[in-house]
Each structure stands twice: as C-alpha cells, then as structure tokens.
Amino acid sequence: MKYTTLPNTNIKVSELCLGSMTWGNQNTEAEGHAQLDYALDQGINFIDTAELYPVPATAETSGRTSKIIGTWLRKTGNRDKVVLASKIAGPGDYTAHIRKTGFSPNAIKEAIDLELKRLQTDYIDLYQLHWPERDTNRFGVRNYEHDSNWKDNFNEILHSLDNAIKEGKIRNIGVSNENSWGTMRYLEESKKHDLPKVITIQNAYSMLTRTFETDLAEVALREGVGLLAYSPMAFGVLSGKYIKGKAAANARLKLFPRFARYSGKQAADATRAYLKIAEDHGLSLAQMSLAFVTQQPFVTSTIIGATNLAQLKENIGSINIKLSDEVLNQINEQHSIMPNPAP
C-alpha cells in the first residue's frame, strides 16, 4: 500500500480509502466485516462512511452502514489502526427522514453524537459536510440557478465544528459535493477568525467526470485541500461490465436504474474508448481507471467500493500500477474528443 497524510495534519492515510455505502443494503454485516478485514490486511487504513448510508437512502436503513463499522470495531479492537471519516447529511427531500434543520448548531451536535454511537467510538478523524446547505449545483447538475433566499452561515457552521473539535469528538473537517466558491468561503472564514480549516473535499472524479479540474483542482493545490475522489469507477461503469453485458443481477445500476449519471450514451461511448486503451496496454479497465485518479496531484485518497471480495481485490491491486505517459496521453486525447460525458 502507498500512504500520504491528510493535508495540514500528521495523520497517515492510505492512498486508497475503503468506501462503505453498499453495506446494509447490497451487502450484509458479515460481508462488510469481511471487506474491512481484507482491506486492513492489504494496508488500507482509511474508511469512509456517512449517516445517510447505505444508498439509496431510506428512513429504515439510515445509519446502518456506520453501525456495521461500529460492530467491526467493537469485535476487532482495531480503532487505533484506522482513520475514520464520516459526514452529516445536507438538507433536502432526500434526507428529510434524518432531520430538517440543515447545519444548525443543534443539528451538527446531534449528528455527531448519533454517529459516534453508531460507530462505537469516542472520536471521528475527519467529519465532512455531505453537500452544501444552500441550494446550488451538485451531483452533476448543470445550469446554475441562484438561491436568493439563502443566508450566509459559513461562520456559524465553522464555530459549531470548532466546538466539536474542542470537545474531542472530531479531529478535522472537510466538505463534499462543494464548489469553488463554497470551498473558498470556508477557507476565508477560517483564516479571518482562526477557525478550523477545511482540509479535504470529497467530490466525484473519474475519467468520465473530470469537472473538478476546471477550477477546484487549483483551489485544492494552492490552498492545501485534498480531494477524496468518490465514484472513481463511475458506479462500476468503468469496470466495463455494463458495456460487455457482464454485470451481475445485483450490480448497482441494475438494482437502482434511477442513478443515471453515468448511464447515458456518451458515457457508454467514452467507456468503450477507454476500454480499448486499457486492453491495448494489457491493463484492466477498472485498474486503469483507479490508477488514473490516484496519480492526480490534487488527490489525497481514492475512495473504492465493492460488493464482493473479488472486486475489492482487483481495486486494491490498482495501487501498484503506474500509468505511463503514453497511456495518460491517450486518455487525455479521448477526453478532449468527448470531455466529461457524465459530469
């Protein structure tokens, strides 16, 4: 395994982070524990969860994923061997079953306390805002529409998180599905008022979704905010299993076709082109896709997910692959022909 540190800390994390959002829905508790055991054995020490998980989110399943991690921590006593990241869900219809109070001080306190209980731990290493409280573009939405009713509360949010840090409940903070303006506003408030600094941003990034490069990459590199890249395989599309017709019956896009971000014709056409590049160089498309993300200078860790151990083994194996300039050039040439087919 290869390691780096969370920006502005001395916390060592693996360059691959184990994602968990299928546990409690597509995966059982036993399967989640098996993935955790295998990942730790392979050197992965970074685990990401959220109060919302598993996805799709429902009132019945909310928090189940973190409970599975909690029972594993209790069973194994491995808390000191892992770095835990979690998230408070942003407001919206999708999360109304959790709470309707956004990122208010009481909401943040409640969310952290409940998550600590589910995880069966006293502290969370990295606590993230799952998406902005204000109504803005996220999850690949285009055509910005201005929310004139939203009141700026960046300072209040940072004060609430600062209180949790001082209480020892969380150690560091990050954002997720955020844009450049929001990220810079958090950084501005932290500098002006000596408040905790956002050290990571968890956004979608893959060969099919490279919009992070347009402006957030500069923010990340100049301000020391590391990208935790989620969906690096575009919900499994970049394994090639869908275009090859080899997807299992329990594959995510078969079970949940409404998650259509990576399912369009352009995404399929681009995936075929990337598959050819991989095959021409004797690589699996999955490992090429993950290696491409991990090699980016603004990426701190690549979040991988799997529904079985065979997938997880292949994904973890990508850490040993360094893509040549020739491969990277061909990927970039294809990207210039069909940029961001699944933004």
In sequence order, what are the residues at sequence separation of 6 or more whose Cβ sits closer than 8 angstroms to the Cβ of residue 184? 219, 223
- Give phi and psi for 291, each to the nearest 5: -65, -35
Question: SS3 for 125?
Answer: strand
Listed range (97-106, 212-221, 260-269) with the worst mean pLDDT: 260-269
pLDDT at 19: 98
pLDDT at 101: 94
Distance CA 270, CA 240 (A): 11
pLDDT tens, residue by residue, 218-235: 999 999 999 999 999 998
Cα 30 to its chain centre, rounded Å, is 23
> Model-level pTM?
0.96
pLDDT at 178: 97
pLDDT at 208: 97
HSE on the CB side for 276, CA within 13 Å? 7
pLDDT tens, residue by residue, 21-71: 999 999 999 999 999 999 999 999 999 999 999 999 999 999 999 999 999
Q: What is the mean pLDDT of residues 165-181?
A: 97
pLDDT at 252: 66
Domains, the chain:
3-337 (3.20.20.100)
Distance CA 11, CA 83 (A): 8
- Give the catalytic positions in this structure: 53
pLDDT tens, residue by residue, 103-117: 999 999 999 999 999
